[in-house]
Amino acid sequence: MLHLCENPHFRHSCLMFLVWAFQLVGLTSGFGLNSGLNQSLTYIWPLPYELTSGNETLTVNPALSLSVIGHGGNFRILREGFRRYKRIIFKFSSGISVSKNSRRIRSLYDISELRIIVKSGSDELKLGVDESYTLFVDKTEGKSVVWETIIEASTIYGALRGLETFSQLCAFDYTTKSVQISKAPWYIKDKPRFAYRGLLLDTSRHHFPVDVIKSIIESMSYAKLNVLHWHIIDTDAFPLEVPAYPKLWNGAYSKWERYTVEDASRIVRFAKTRGIHVMAEVDVPGHAESWGAGYPDLWPNTYCREPLDVTKNFTFDLISGILSEIREIFPFELFHLGGDEVNTDCWNKTPHVKQWLDENKMKPKDAYQYFVLKAQEIAISKNWTPVNWEETFNAFAKSLNPQTVVHNWLGPGVCLKAVEKGFKCIFSNQRVWYLDHLDVSWDEVYYAEPLEGISNVSKQELVIGGEVCMWGETVDTSNVQQTIWPRAAAAAERLWSTEEALSAANLTVLHRLQYFRCLLNRRGVQAAPVLNYYARQPPSGSGSCYWQ
């Protein structure tokens, strides 16, 4: 059975059979008191590195208190994180009368305190920050049975991941009307497989209000994704305020569809409290027509508006100016310079550009390289590590700054080539990880492997992770979350969990993903049914969230 489900040709039907079999076991009648849950499964998404569980069921006190130990114990991020997860865990029991006295009657509950131990006294959020944690829900030694719940982590970001896992162990029991942890004692040791686990959001094709971006970041933290790749600007619109060049946001769709400097900073601060990096992208020299709405000099000519005019100092002064200003907003060490889909026809067709090319003895492709390298230099001078879409690597790998992180998208096998040449790489093969490709099913996303074909361990380490891309042409506030979820969760588990863990849990993956999708729904995230043939389609008929 395992082998059948690993064969890509039979995978979907095999998995469909399995979900049917699970439902058959779970269902007691057409109506389903017990439907959906299989007690032998571990409903944690993504799967932890290592775990053991038992067979006791514990109750959790709605007045759960936090006790913090270690250098990292007093960070606001940690304390707010605890309060946030407490709201999530106990939202279903709010209004239940017993909770009123629960602070006094601690002995009624098995678990009344969560202890968090954080070693590091730093809250710096860098790529590769230690996100590991251990979570114990365990008995203490002694005469009477006392249960202790402890999260141990090197950093507050590891502790946040542990809180997420803890929240997933807690479930509201409708019979006793209490929050319970089943299958205790738990011993979970966890850490991510990849340091970079990203989601691209495109705010140029459609504008997303700040609150919507914050909800997306919040939902990312539920799946332990940790990089929001903010594709801020593109051909269609320039929504970001750049105070030194105030006319740039003339390129916004309207006077309301904009981000102030303060908005952008709020987004970055919010993301940090969830342990999420924000990587900004300023895509040059293509995908930049909107820049010229305020500064038409950036267009080669009025009728042919991109790539940006390669001949003018103003173009590079402006790039440098933008990067200087936004460096203050985006502390993350990676910065995306785009560099994709550059059609140089416009340069060739514009007399002054053509003349400049001739004078400098350049073909358009040389000018493309010239532009990209110059932009890289600017980014590096601002203490950023440049990321480029793979076209720059495909076109002039030898000249590319060796720090460059190659961002794959066109197809498979690119990270293999990039790491062979010593570059770092991010996997986003569009055939499987472009969320705007609605015909890609959850399992195609799930079984995509960033390290495919890379056997050398030192080369594997150059693949820093992967990213699912939510391009914005057909998503706006109305449907962005249901296009992202649940498929982004499939990638999230691929990026967090070890291949061994995934392989061992292969038969249960669909069932667990359906459960996680419903968890997202319970938390207010508009994750779509898992089994729809096209992503984000409505449910095909009445039914339980756990079947659809």
The residues that are catalytic are 341
Q: Is 232 in the site for its own copies (CB under 8 A)?
A: no
Q: Out of 452, 522, 533, 534, point to the residue binding its own copies (CB under 8 A).
A: 522
Q: Out of 218, 236, 283, 444, point to the residue binding its own copies (CB under 8 A).
A: 236
Considering only residues 384 through 403, tell me which ones interact with its own copies, judged by CB under 8 A: none
Amino acid 341 reads E
Of the two residues 159 and 513, which places its CB atom closer to its own copies in the complex? 513
Point out which span in 112-120, 315-323, 372-380, 520-528 binds its own copies (CB under 8 A).
520-528
Q: Is 98 in the site for its own copies (CB under 8 A)?
A: no
Q: Out of 65, 355, 477, 503, point to the residue binding its own copies (CB under 8 A).
A: 477
Q: How far is the CB of 234 from its own copies (least distance, A)?
A: 8
Q: Is 54 in the site for its own copies (CB under 8 A)?
A: no
Considering only residues 256 through 295, tell me which ones interact with its own copies, judged by CB under 8 A: 256-258, 260, 262-263, 265-266, 290, 293
Q: What is the DSSP string of 160-179?
A: HHHHHHHHHHEEEETTTTEE
Q: What is the DSSP string of 140-152?
A: PSSSS--EEEEEE
Residue 530's nearest CA partner among 497, 494, 490, 498 is 490
Task: Tell me the β-bridge partners of 170.
Answer: 181
Half-sphere exposure of residue 517: CA atoms within 13 angstroms, side-chain side = 29
Q: Is 302 in the site for its own copies (CB under 8 A)?
A: no
Of the two residues 99 and 430, which places its CB atom closer to its own copies in the complex? 99
Distance CA 523, CA 89 (A): 10
Amino acid 48 reads P
Q: Is 412 in the site for its own copies (CB under 8 A)?
A: no
Q: Is 57 in the site for its own copies (CB under 8 A)?
A: no
Q: Out of 7, 107, 144, 254, point to the residue binding its own copies (CB under 8 A).
A: 254
Point out which span in 130-138, 273-281, 367-375, 516-524 binds its own copies (CB under 8 A).
516-524
How far is CA 272 from each of CA 26, 124, 309, rounded to the nearest angstrom? 40, 9, 36
Q: Is 41 in the site for its own copies (CB under 8 A)?
A: no
Q: How far is the CB of 224 from its own copies (least distance, A)?
A: 21
Backbone CA torsion sign across 307, 311, 314, 319: positive
Residue 99's nearest CA partner among 151, 127, 61 is 61
Q: How far is the CB of 232 from its own copies (least distance, A)?
A: 14
Of the two residues 284 and 475, which places its CB atom closer to its own copies in the complex? 475
Q: How far is the CB of 524 from its own copies (least distance, A)?
A: 5
DSSP state, 528? Answer: P
Of the two residues 128 and 296, which places its CB atom closer to its own copies in the complex? 296
Q: How far is the CB of 279 from its own copies (least distance, A)?
A: 21
Q: Is 318 in the site for its own copies (CB under 8 A)?
A: no
DSSP state, 499? Answer: H
CB burial class (10 A; 0-12, 13-18, 19+) of residue 376? buried
Q: Is 95 in the site for its own copies (CB under 8 A)?
A: yes
Q: Out of 66, 70, 84, 92, point to the residue binding its own copies (CB under 8 A).
A: 92
Per-position x/- string for 180-219, each x denoting binding to its own copies as judged by CB under 8 A, each - no binding: ------------------------xxxx-xxxx--x----
Q: Is 121 in the site for its own copies (CB under 8 A)?
A: no
Q: Is 548 in the site for its own copies (CB under 8 A)?
A: yes
229, 467 Cβ separation under 8 angstroms: yes
Q: How far is the CB of 257 from its own copies (least distance, A)?
A: 6
Q: Where do the DSSP E strands lie in 83-146?
A: 111-118, 133-139
Of the two residues 376 and 483, which places its CB atom closer to its own copies in the complex? 483
Q: How far is the CB of 129 from its own copies (least distance, A)?
A: 25
Phi, psi (deg, nearest 5) at residue 396: -150, 60
Distance CA 311, CA 146 (A): 73
Amino acid 139 reads K
Distance CA 138, CA 9 (A): 44
| Cα-based torsion angle of the residue sequence 373, 378, 382, 386 in order, rounded to the nearest 10 degrees | -30
Helices (H) and strands (E) in the chain, counts: 19, 16
How many residues in the shown chain lie near its own copies by CB under 8 A? 82
Bridge-based pairing state of the strands 385-389 and 334-336: parallel
Amino acid 15 reads L
Of the two residues 351 and 541, which places its CB atom closer to its own copies in the complex? 541
The CA-based diameter of the chain, rounded to the nearest angstrom, is 89
Q: How far is the CB of 360 from its own copies (least distance, A)?
A: 31
Distance CA 368, CA 350 (A): 15
Of the two residues 92 and 396, which places its CB atom closer to its own copies in the complex? 92
Point out which span in 31-39, 108-116, 130-138, 330-338 binds its own copies (CB under 8 A).
31-39
Considering only residues 417 through 476, tell me which ones interact with its own copies, judged by CB under 8 A: 472-476
In which element (H, E) is residue 388 found? strand 385-389
